[in-house]
Structure formats: structure tokens, C-alpha cells
Chains A and B, each alone.
Chain A
Amino acid sequence: MLGMTKRTFMALAASSALVTAVPAFAQESGEIVIGGSLPLTGVFGFAGVAIEAGIQDYIKIINEEGGIHGRKLRLAYEDTGYQVDQSVAVFNKLTSQNENMHLYYGDSTAFSRTINPELVRRGDMIMAGASFATEINDPVNFAPQFIAGPDYTEMYSILLEYIAKEKPGAKLVFVNSDTEFGRDPIASSTARAKELGLEVVDQIITPPGAVDVSTEVLKLRRARPDYAIFHGYILAPLPEFMTQAKQLGLDTKFMGTFWSMDSSIWESVGDVADGFMGVMPYRYYYDEEEAPMLERIRQMRPTYQATGYMQGFLTAMLMSEAVKRTLDEGKELTSTNMKAAMNSIKDFDTGGIIGVPISVPGNTVPVGRIYQYDAGEKKMQPVSDWISVAE
């Protein structure tokens, strides 16, 4: 009987432990919380750490200026390991723990897609993230979301416009990884290239994580394009492509999109990286053109900050601006009001994070610039003006 009692006691103890484990948080406060499912570990960890720093720094700047309508901003974030189920778990954890969470940063296209119905259901939040997927640039179906830059198709358009200007009728090859990320802009961009009088002579799809690319390089040799545009990669297998192409005597110019454009990742590649070009929606940490906000960043952080930092920084800036405009009008912080406020952003000065005044006509900021890597200086140097592809 005593044993039974002990067991009952243990059961009670276990269930009470469970009950107390359920956190009762969330005190009412005036602060506005930015939630974050951030990939601090895993394949995308390098970006997550930089993004977090960017968001935190902008929050610091805003809070030092007294917040938005006196309400301070705070980032509540956790690591997702770049896994969708963990990203959703973090979303649910943070929304359960924090009141006044009206802004959110997501880590992947899959997460943006998965959480979208929940965002629509809640109706009290807008979200941006590390994904520039074309799919998200849909103000009807992805109404509570936006992208703090051009989507991948728009990035291609910026590259294509640059190419059309530099070398009309140029021959192109698209090289994409066999992932959702890689395949994103292929169809739309092939059509766009045709419109601009460019010829896409081949499309190469590489398996995810491919290291040996000799077959693909031979295809490139056969096609002999003027430009090869890579997308769906961070770095590998780009250096391998470039090395082999140089050995074969090809004078193809290699190009990439945002996530391949951090200059620190190219440093280790050495001379082969020289001349690599790509589209960059933001300025680099070390850009010398006048930019008060960059100056401020350099004061806050004396060492180089990666491209993810700029992305996080601008995302926080646009979110804050949307909140500010909503509160200015005396409206509630709902998805609809904040998104309308976001879309009211026209010719907005980012303090030089982007070199031209920006607008958010839909779900993106459709502007970017072509930069080229200079292996001697170990820096990305601008080779074009800011190109807007707003329709």
C-alpha cells in the first residue's frame, strides 16, 4: 500500500513539475518585440550570427534615440539550426513568451511558407527574413511578409540589365543548384533575358553539395558564354568552376547573387576570385561613398561586418519605419496596418545602407548594384550605378 502511495506521490510530483515547467511569462510592457527564428548554427549559421548583430545594432540606435513613440524595441530570438520544425517551434515559443511581438525575422523560404497561414490567422505581425524567394514577393498570398531587398528574380533582372548594357546580345549560362533556393529564378529569368536581347545558351543544374564539377565545366566550355550566372550557392562550387574555366582558357565572367557576395568568404579563395561579380542590394561595410549610417556602424563595430549584417540592419530599419508610420497615424499594430505603412515607404533615405532612396511598392525593395571582387584589395568594388527594377 505504501508503495502505491509512493507511486501516487511520484505521479503527482511529476505532473506538478510538468505544470510548473509551463512558463507563465509575458508581462505587459510598452516595448515592441522583434521575434527571430535565427539560424545561428548549421549550414547557414554564418549568416544568422551576422543578421543578429545587424538587427541588434539598429535596435540599439533606435532605443538610444528614445524608441518609437517612446516604446523601446527588443529582439527575442533563438537558434533554429536552419530546420523548419525548429523555426516553427521557436516562433511558437517566442510568441507564447512575449507580448507585443509585432515583428518577426524568419530563417528560410520553407519557414516563410509554413508560418504564413499562422501569420494571416494572427493578424498582428509582419515578417521578413533571410529568404529572397520569388514566391514571397506576392502581396496577396504573402500579405504579412516582405523582403528587405530584391527577390531572386529581381536580382537576376538587375544582373541581366547590367549585362544588356555592358554587352548587348551577350551569351549566358545559368548555373543553379538543384534545390528550391537554386531553381527559384530560372524560368522567370530566362524569359527576362530574352526580352533584353540576351541569349541563354545553356542551363546547368548541379546536385546540392557537388564538389566535382568537371562535367559541368566542360558544358560551360562547349557553350562558351560571356557570362555565367550562379545561384543557389554560398561559395562552393564556384571557386572550382572558376579555377577550371581559367585553366581551359575561357574568358567567361562569373556572377552570383546576394548570399555569394560577402567579400570575407572570397578572401580565402585567393587570386582566382578576382573579377567575380554579383548583385548586392546594400552597401559594403567598407564602402567609401558618403553614408552616415555606415559611418555609425563603423563606429559601433570597428571590424568588417558581413553582408548578412547589412541585411539584418536594413530589415530592422524598415520594420521600425513601418511601426513608426503606423503609430504616427494612431493606428493599431496589425499586419494590415503595418504592411500598408510599409508600402507607403517612398524615396526613403536609408542613411546610405542603400545608395539611392528606396521604396517598397509590393513585398520587395527592388533595387541593387553590381559589385566586383578585387583580390588585391580583398574588397568588393562597385562597377555599376544602383539599378532599380521596379515595374
Chain B
Amino acid sequence: MRIATANETYRADEALLQTNVQWAWIGVLVVAMVAAPFMLNNYWLYLACLVAINVASATGLNILTGYTGLVSLGQGAFMAVGAYTVAWLETHIGTPFILNLVAAGGTAALVGILVGLPSLRVKGLYLAIATIGASIILQFIFLNWDGVTGGSRGMNVAPASIFGVQLTTYFQLYWVLTPIAALMVLGAANLFRTRVGRAFIAIRDRDISAEVLGIPLLRYKLLSFAISSFYAGIAGGLWAYFFRSVGPESFTIGESIFYLAAVIVGGMGSILGAIIGATFMTLVPEVLRFGVEAISPYVDNAGTLLSPVRTVVFGALIILFLVFEPQGLAEIVQRIRRFFHLWPFRN
């Protein structure tokens, strides 16, 4: 049971981690993350890196959609902007890895601001459609601006290099991708302890009231788009270094739907939600492979017969979670926490 946790200062009241138990859990997480590369094989390391990239991007989208209430289906396109920026800088200028990433975030943020302009006039589904429109324009640019984007073939990306070490294996990439993703999540968590973050939430809850409270809507909505696209840009940059090739078909509208689904399945407006959602969406289809593998000895030609089942099960799981856990997977975590807070009493 959780007792004696009364906060005595505002600072303590605002802290991200308020109890020793939370600190202990974070400690466990950090230890697990440090130990992971030494214990996981190449396949799980690949997935760990992919989860890190997806968490970074989903966290960005959560700032825009979950916290500011602006539905966007442009996250994939913003990631593509970041990925192409990295590819171009790496190929033509050869600037350092970190600088390329920041540039990727910056470029995507600028594009995000442009795309966000209609958000003052339209919201909800209308804004979602506007962002799809922007994605189509960007897709057209990627495909036809041959000189910069490499046209339909796209671009190959040289491996990232830090202190003269080329990051070519998943083991090496893990040590870069995971801390960056963690830093981005920490940044997002802290954002909502500031005036800006609270303004976003106010806009989400009721934009007219927010304006009455003195929040300039256009500025803050565009800021939200900029921050969210900055995250997408960095995630796209990491993606480019991870897959080492970027093309117009790398980031389709399907990717944008993937991230929106991750945020919704995980829990909108919750930092933990984006993390869990991105992890769920990335890992569940892979974990289901082991399900197929387990049944394989009992079914002839299992790989071919059961693969469609895997896709259906994944879809069904998403629907089931939405039906039974509309607040997202993060709500399950909250419920478990509440249970232990009250334990051994039931209510």
C-alpha cells in the first residue's frame, strides 16, 4: 500500500518520479536496457532498435494528437523528410551524425509548421485529411525531385559514424538509438510540466477556452506541429541510419496510420501510452511469429497456411484492445499501479 507520500514542496509535487518505488522501477529498466544488448541475439536487437525509433516517432505524434488534440496522418511523411535530410547531408556534405540528426529534426519541423497552417481553420477529421494531402504532396516531391531525393530509386545512406567508429551492427546502433529515444521521451515528459505543454493540453480540452485564457492558438498549434515533426524528423533520421536506404516507398500513408494506431492503442495523451503503443505495434506481429512456429509441427505447410492467420490475429488484437481498453494499454498499467497502491485493500 502506498502511504506517506504527501509532497511538501511544489517541486516534489511536479516531479516526474515521485516515489522511491518509481525510481526503483526506472533503475530496473535502465539496468535491463544496458544489459539487453549482451543478452539478446541479433534478431531481438534489431527489434529493440526498431522499437526505439518507433517510440521516438510515436512520442512525437502523441504530443500533437494526444496532448494538443490535432489529429495528424502526416507522421510518416515528416519522418521521410528527416530520413531524406540525413541521406542528403550524409551523401553530399558528410556532416557529423548528430548534426545531421538535428538538421533532420529542424527540416521536418519547418515542413511541419507549413503543414500545420490549416490547423487554425480545420480540426478533427478535416485536419487529418489536410495532413494526408500534405503527405501526398511530399510523396510527389520525393518521387520527382530526382536531383535531391534520387527519384524512384531513392538514396543509400552511409553508416553513421561516431568518434571514428562506424555503426554497422545492431549492437552498435542500439547504444546510439536507445539513448536518443530515451532522451526524446524524457523531453516530452518534461514538456508537459512547462507552460507550453499545459497550453497544448488546454487547447486539446477546449480551444476557445484556451484562447480566452490568453493562449495564442495559431502560435501554439504551430509549435505543437513543429515539436511533433521535429521528433518525427529525428526518428526518420535514425530510421535512415538504421536501414541505410531511403526511397519514396519507405514511408507511405501506412506508416502514418501505424503511428496513429500506436498512439491510440497505447493511450492518447500519455507518455507511457506512446511507449507501450509503439512497442506493442512493433513487437506483437513478431511475437506472433513464435505462435506460428509453435503450431508448425502440427500443421503441414504451416508457414504458408498460418501467415494470414497471424495478420488477422494482430488486427483482432488491436480491435479487442480498443473495445475493452478504450483508454489504451497505458490504462492497464495504471490499473495495476492502483491495485498495488491500495493493496491489500480492494478499494
Contact = CB atoms under 8 A, between A and B. Distances in A.
Interface residues of B, number: 45
A77 B304 CA distance: 9
Interface residues of A, number: 41
A121 B308 contact: no
Contact of A180 (B41, B244, B247, B303): B247
A49 interface: yes
A96 B41 contact: yes
Given A88-B243, A135-B153, A93 B289 contact: yes
Interface in A152-187: 178-180, 182-184
Interface in A88-103: 88-89, 92-93, 95-97
A93 B143 contact: no
Contacts of B151: 183
Interface in B277-292: 285-286, 289, 292
Listed residue (B154, B169, B243, B307) with the most chain A CB atoms within 10 angstroms of its CB: B307
B343 interface: yes
A1 to B, nearest CB: 11
Contacts of A121: 168-169
Given A3-B340, A11-B28, A110 B245 contact: yes
B220 interface: no
B256 to A, nearest CB: 14
Interface in A4-48: 4, 7, 11, 15, 18-19, 22-23, 38, 40-41, 45
A101 B304 CA distance: 20
A110 B250 contact: yes
Contacts of B168: 117, 121
Contacts of B42: 92, 95-96
Contact of A89 (B40, B248, B286): B286
A383 B331 CA distance: 66
A86 B153 CA distance: 20
A113 B249 contact: no
A22 B39 contact: yes
Interface in B333-347: 340, 343-344
A110 B43 contact: no
A214 interface: no
Nearest to B169: A121
B153 A49 contact: no
A179 to B, nearest CB: 7
A15 B248 contact: no
Contacts of A78: 289, 292, 303, 307
Contacts of A188: none
Interface in B100-158: 143, 151-154, 156
29 contacts: A3-B343, A7-B21, A11-B25, A15-B28, A15-B32, A22-B44, A38-B303, A40-B307, A41-B311, A49-B304, A78-B292, A79-B303, A79-B307, A81-B311, A88-B243, A89-B43, A89-B46, A89-B50, A92-B43, A93-B289, A95-B43, A96-B41, A113-B245, A117-B244, A121-B168, A180-B248, A183-B151, A183-B152, A184-B152
Given A11-B28, A18-B32, A114-B244, 4 more contacts: A22-B41, A84-B243, A89-B43, A96-B41
